[in-house]
Amino acid sequence: MEYYIKAERYLMENEEKQGGYLLVSNGLFGGFSETVPLGSDVIDWSGHIIAPGLFDTHIHGIKGYDIMDGTAEAVHEISKAILQLGVTRFLPTTLTSSKTDLNQAIVAITEAVRQGLAGAQSEGIFLEGPYFSEQHKGAQNSIYFRNPDYEEFQEIKRLSEGTIVKIALAPERENTLEFINNVSKDGVFVCIAHTDASHDCCKRAINVGAQNFVHLFNGMSGLHHRDPGVVGAALTNPNTFAELICDGFHVHPDIATLALRVKGDKLVLITDCMRAGLMPDGEYQLGEFTVVMKDGMARTETGSLAGSTLKLIDGVKNLKSWSSEPLYKIWHSASLSPAASIGKDMEFGSISSGKIADYVVLNEQLDVLATAVDGVVKYRRG
């Protein structure tokens, strides 16, 4: 299938283009041109913006469903719900839990992917835990915390049929450096999270393969001028990625803007969304915890923030309003940078010839009008 897109603006990989036509051929982006051959198929989105599909690398659930439900249905419903929000790729994300529940969730994800997802496509599993520490546990259940075990991880990986691409851990736990080194060699991307590690401990973890910091400023020791902590390690290492939840609750807008200035294209916007996303205020379950959602903010009974109810497109809108950066750069924090964080930026994440043609059609208010995956429009508003 080959066609051209006609639009007002295009958020390209290194710039924003006005007018013209964008080729989509066999599910991939082709070249950009001012005219098209006579008789070409053209999809007319005049007056609108074409942007690359969003990629949420950290999402637990939405619209009443959660990955830890342990059902293929939950994965399918999450895939469909986020497609309407402009997300074309995602990493189904687990929580610290019992081995039985974790295994069931992993089996459900692999089953759903094998069946074929109708909406956003899974790019692999993100294991958030169970190798965390108590002090910054957040909504992770500490009764299941333990030291990293490479043999245990290999069992989980086999169960996932090799689809685990990312794991988060606390680097101060025993055996962690050896574990990071081993799983990194296996092609799994290691993140630092829910940790009270020292700055030096984080640097040692980075030296053996850790590449990312999960929900920056949350679930970690903070920044102090004489004790840089985990936040200091994230901000001062130019080669690591850092996730950010731009809902205005988890991180102050000025600090979010500071993180963008410091991390640049290594900043990755995420949602960390749980099942209360797109749902009314009330009580919900996050793993084994009861969570109360009020005015869009989800908290455990002890008052800890429990994931978020953020839409990734709203994170983009927020960061754009908080900063002075051009839209295409902000957008890439939720598309290209996430892809780069798991080594897939040459495959998708931006509008560039030869990349997978995932794209979103937007109006000037950045509302999602349509979403395409592999060049096929799978959602149209209304």
Q: Are 185 and 222 found together in one domain?
A: yes
Determine if residue 86 is left, alpha or beta; phi over 0 gives left, psi from -120 to 50 gives alpha, anything else beta: left
Determine if residue 39 is left, alpha or beta; phi over 0 gives left, psi from -120 to 50 gives alpha, anything else beta: left
CA separation for the pair 176, 201 (Å, rounded): 10
Q: Are 179 and 311 found together in one domain?
A: yes
Helix axes 253-263 and 229-236, enclosed angle (nearest 10): 40
Asked if the structure places residue 190 within a domain, the reply is yes
The enclosing domain of 159 has a CATH number of 3.20.20.140
CA separation for the pair 280, 59 (Å, rounded): 19
Edge-to-edge strands, sheet with 87-92:
54-59, 87-92, 121-122
Q: Are 177 and 29 found together in one domain?
A: no
Q: Are 173 and 275 found together in one domain?
A: yes
CB 74 within 8 A of CB 67: yes
CA separation for the pair 11, 141 (Å, rounded): 41
Largest CA distance in the chain: 67
**In sequence order, what DSSP letters do the residues of 238-304 get, joined into one string?**
TT-EEEEE-SSSSS-HHHHHHHHHHHGGGEEEE--B-TTTTS-SEEEEETTEEEEEETTEEEETTS-
Q: Are 131 and 74 found together in one domain?
A: yes
Q: Which of 101, 196, 272, 358 is flagged as catalytic? A: 272
Q: Are 38 and 158 found together in one domain?
A: no
Q: What is the dihedral sign for C-alpha 367, 371, 377, 380?
A: negative
pLDDT in tens, 177-214: 999 999 999 999 999 999 999 999 999 999 999 999 99
Q: How many residues does the chain have?
A: 382
For the chain, the domain total comes to 2
Q: Are 300 and 337 found together in one domain?
A: yes
Q: How many C-beta atoms surround the C-beta of residue 83 within 10 A?
A: 25
Q: Are 37 and 130 found together in one domain?
A: no
Q: Are 39 and 188 found together in one domain?
A: no
Q: Are 175 and 237 found together in one domain?
A: yes
Asked if the structure places residue 284 within a domain, the reply is yes
Predicted pLDDT at 327? 97
CA separation for the pair 287, 373 (Å, rounded): 30
The enclosing domain of 43 has a CATH number of 2.30.40.10
pLDDT in tens, 260-308: 999 999 999 999 999 999 999 998 988 778 888 898 888 887 778 878 9
Q: Are 47 and 58 found together in one domain?
A: no
Asked if the structure places residue 59 within a domain, the reply is yes
Helix, coil or strand: residue 372: strand
Asked if the structure places residue 294 within a domain, the reply is yes
Residue 261 half-sphere exposure, CB side, CA atoms within 13 Å? Answer: 9
CA separation for the pair 314, 311 (Å, rounded): 5
Asked if the structure places residue 122 within a domain, the reply is yes
Asked if the structure places residue 346 within a domain, the reply is no
Domain residues for the domain of 13 are 2-51+351-380
| Residues of the chain under the 70 pLDDT cut | none
Asked if the structure places residue 305 within a domain, the reply is yes
Q: Are 220 and 356 found together in one domain?
A: no
41 is catalytic: no
